[in-house]
Structure 1
Amino acid sequence: MNLHQLRFIREAVRQNFNLTEAAKALYTSQPGVSKAIIELEEELGVDIFTRHGKRIRGLTEPGRQILKSVEMIMQEVDSLKRIGKEFAAQDSGSLTIATTHTQARYSLPKVVQAFTQKYPKVRLSLLQGNPKQIAEMVLKDQADLAIATEAIAAIDGLVSIPCYQWEHVVVVPKDHALLKLKNLTLEDLAAYPLITYDAAFAGRNKIDHAFSLRSLTPDILLEAIDADVIKTYVELGMGVGIIAGMAFDPERDKNLQAIKAGHLFGSNLSRLALKQGAYLRSYVYTFIELLTPTLNRKLMDRVLNGEKDTYEL
């Protein structure tokens, strides 16, 4: 048994059981991958994959158990490599953050700026997607950490930590009738075409749930993943916008006005997620502390070690 065989098993699963694609991802030959897998099966005395002819189709029951062990072993190997790199170069390396557009555009700029000033030799990358996509990026080691709303809190294989709370706001042109109301209600909003986030983004589930509880069916005219897009169509007079409060800037959005909507849709919690058992380099802890100043390395280590109730906002 060797690490190459374990890598081939893991990559075959990641490539949806396509050995040709697994070989390409690992810069080797397909026959070599196939032979290594068969040799490992013979050594273990069980079939890891189900087959149809020469093609593998899925995992057997023992294969599923073996994959779990393979993932754990390869994660420990990756951790060993990171430890070596950290002690060889304390202030250089790379950090990849997977996040949503709203977080990347409105929450992270000051954090990223402070981090790059502190660690100019660290190459920082931002990958964007919806919460499910960015969680997958962390699970597949394409990113070091993910930042999104509650949607990433209950994904197997990730450790999720709360960062900060925020609320939605309603955005309208400055002469809009809703600005004359003392207390905005859901019934008031339901009377207008609405422009808000796609179902996978920025607490949209809270918006839908609030209307549902009141047996209201809002007229969702347009859905977008980007608050700037939402604000653009509100400025055109096409409808009333609902966006994350962090996405409204009175100086930049001079043609619009925001109405607080926390009393309608509740508060949302942005969270940071890491792969369970991940080894974190020193500068990753620093980035997390810049993002959430109430966190420190000691608390982070306790959370990563399974003490999930150690830290809550």
Structure 2
Amino acid sequence: MNLHQLRFVREAVRQNFNLTEAAKALFTSQPGVSKAIIELEEELGVDIFTRHGKRIRGLTEPGRSVLKSVELIMQEIEGLKQIGREFAAQDSGSLTIATTHTQARYALPPVVQAFMQKYPKVRLSLLQGNPKQVAEMVQRDQADLAIATESIAGIDGLITMPCYQWEHVVVVPLDHPLLKLKVISLEEIANYPLITYDSAFAGRNKIDHAFALRQIKPDILLEAIDADVIKTYVELGMGVGIIAGMAFDAERDKNLRSIPVGNLFGMNISRIALKQGAYLRSYVYTFIELLAPTLNRKLIDQVLQGTKDNYEL
């Protein structure tokens, strides 16, 4: 059994059982097509086609089952060819990034813009989820890489590298009393209803941990996965917001003010996750370098190969 025989069967059906037309479509001879089909039938021990004399007229019952298998096999062959084309072509292909809303909305736009200018032929896809979900997307080969907070570190089958540090900020309306304080404390923040991230997002565990250490139970009025949602409700005067610093833009958020609180909640590190042993096309290295200039191809390869596991910012 060989691929030529399978192609001949499929093309014979596509050409309405006309072997002459099938041979023309495949740039071969009609006797060669006929012989290959007969040899396949003999090997399988069933007739694939019904015949009238030397002409084929249709598919037999087993022939219909054979055709289904042939179609599946040929689809897989095309898939393999596509994989080969993508990996051979270092300036074109696809790149799927799994990330959180905060990263996709605030950190990635300039990186994506610069990347697409360098590699206009690459099809870029962004998948969003919480840190656990985006890590699983890489594990399941649904994404090439994941970007999220440090919570994605230490997951089986993945290697992670730090990209950049960031801190939380408190966001308040323009006339809020917290703006009058020279030094802000957890106790003072807890005097107001809080609007912040869902527990799975953007370093929320550090926020909870900081309050717990001081035995403070804050009034979490609203949780969201989107900093824009948090800021909207802060603007309405419903409470004090705690968001990632990257999500605050003084020009865009003119009705709000931000107060850095990294000293209260600690610094956070966004990390990039890759599947252990992954083969990276050249443009994937470029994307990583654009996202984290401290990373380079040599260092990335060392981490992937397990020869360097202590790289930190």
**TM-score > 0.5 by shorter chain:** yes
Cα distance in 1, alignment partners of residues 244 and 81 from structure 2: 39
**Deviation at residue 117 of structure 1 after TM alignment:** 0.4
SS at match of 1:237: coil
Q: In structure 2, do the counterparts of structure 1 residues 285 and 82 end up closer, same or farther at CA, with 3 Å as the change threshold?
A: farther
- Conserved? CA contact 1:83–1:281, under 8 Å: no
The structure whose Rg is larger is: 2
**Deviation at residue 83 of structure 1 after TM alignment:** 8.1
**Deviation at residue 308 of structure 1 after TM alignment:** 3.9
Give structure 2 stretches of 5+ with no counterpart.
1-79
- Conserved? CA contact 1:299–1:310, under 8 Å: no
Letter in 2 for 1:107: A
**Deviation at residue 88 of structure 1 after TM alignment:** 3.1
Structure 2 residue 276 is the aligned partner of structure 1 residue 276: yes
Structure 2 residue 181 is the aligned partner of structure 1 residue 156: no
Map residues 88-127 of structure 1 onto 2, 5 A cutoff: 88-127=88-127
- Conserved? CA contact 1:139–1:158, under 8 Å: yes
Map residues 213-292 of structure 1 onto 2, 5 A cutoff: 213-292=213-292
**Deviation at residue 269 of structure 1 after TM alignment:** 0.5
Give structure 1 stretches of 5+ with no counterpart.
1-79
Letter in 2 for 1:160: T
Letter in 2 for 1:265: F
- Conserved? CA contact 1:195–1:222, under 8 Å: yes
Cα distance in 2, alignment partners of residues 127 and 147 from structure 1: 10
Cα distance in 1, alignment partners of residues 221 and 88 from structure 2: 55
Structure 2 residue 132 is the aligned partner of structure 1 residue 132: yes
Residues 70-129 of structure 1, C-alpha deviations (whole Å, 9 max, x = no match): xxxxxxxxxx98984356322110000000000000000000000000000000000000
Structure 2 match to 1:185: 185
Cα distance in 1, alignment partners of residues 146 and 82 from structure 2: 19
- Conserved? CA contact 2:87–2:281, under 8 Å: no
- Conserved? CA contact 1:128–1:134, under 8 Å: yes
Q: In structure 2, do the counterparts of structure 1 residues 310 and 207 end up closer, same or farther at CA, with 3 Å as the change threshold?
A: closer
TM-score w.r.t. structure 2 length? 0.73
Letter in 2 for 1:147: I
Cα distance in 1, alignment partners of residues 297 and 86 from structure 2: 16
Structure 1 match to 2:306: 306
Cα distance in 1, alignment partners of residues 307 and 126 from structure 2: 29
- Conserved? CA contact 2:103–2:147, under 8 Å: yes
Structure 2 match to 1:60: none
Letter in 1 for 2:100: T
TM-score w.r.t. structure 1 length? 0.73
SS at match of 2:167: strand
- Conserved? CA contact 1:82–1:281, under 8 Å: no
Cα distance in 2, alignment partners of residues 164 and 130 from structure 1: 18
